[in-house]
Amino acid sequence: MTDDQLLRYSRHILLDEIGIEGQERILASHALVIGAGGLGSPALMYLVAAGVGQITLVDDDSVDLTNLQRQIAHTSERVGQAKVESAAQAMRAINPDPLLRPMQRRVDAQLLDMLVPAADVVLDCSDNYATRQAINAACVRHGRPLVAGAVLRFDGQITVVDQRVSGTACYACLFSPQAQFEEEACSTLGVFAPLVGVVGAVQAAEALKILIGTGRSLAGFLLMLDGRSMEWTRMQTSRDPACPVCQSAA
């Protein structure tokens, strides 16, 4: 590390669980973040601030005025700009060192099969069920750890999918890919603005722990937050022996 990096990341280096070796792992790592909206905004800001060496961010949307109530990576001046470019601009203002790869694309299985194998950790900050299932399947297929978050109204949830942790569930074990329901969107039901910040920050924390190799991740657990009462519920999960995703990849 350079002298500037030793100073920039000094508060991480002071931590016994991280130190110089852990910070060097962060600097050498590659995170794939899908979604540059409510969850992606705080997650991306913390990942770049922590010095993750390469960050690929994928989102096909553009900044809209209705986003600004909660998507803190964007500004009024950047309404109409691609979200990935707007987020990258905010990230470079925090830390110019990491290599950023913004991609204005909608993810599908083909794109995920190209991007997921190159990443050390994947963060699902998307906003629809089909995309979450596709990301989970790709991460299971390629053996990459996934940090998945979701928020709607006053409710948030986070889990980690890591096939290296024996017996733990993938996203499809918890939420069936065959489920048929009407997609609920914050555009019609609303979302409590600070809650996406809380969940997105937890996603960043889980991703950094995985990259450093410290602590215990949320693999095997579903963490749920009720924003009305600010009560956390931690539910232990296990692999579904009939899961069509992780059992077929085993």
Residues identified as active-site:
186
Q: Are 135 and 146 in contact (CB under 8 A)?
A: yes
How far apart CA 52 and CA 54 sit, in angstroms, is: 6
E-assigned strand segments in the chain: 30-34, 54-58, 99-103, 121-124, 146-152, 155-161, 221-226, 231-236
Q: Is 172 exposed, middle or buried (0-12, 13-18, 19+ CB in 10 A)?
A: buried
Residue whose C-alpha is closest to residue 207's, from 40, 61, 20, 8: 40
Please list, in sequence order, all residues whose beta carbon lies within 8 angstroms of the beta carbon of residue 153, skipping any fewer than 6 positions away: 186, 189, 190, 191, 192
Place of tokens 């794109």: 111
Q: Which tokens belong to 175? A: 């939420």
Place of tokens 């950047």: 78
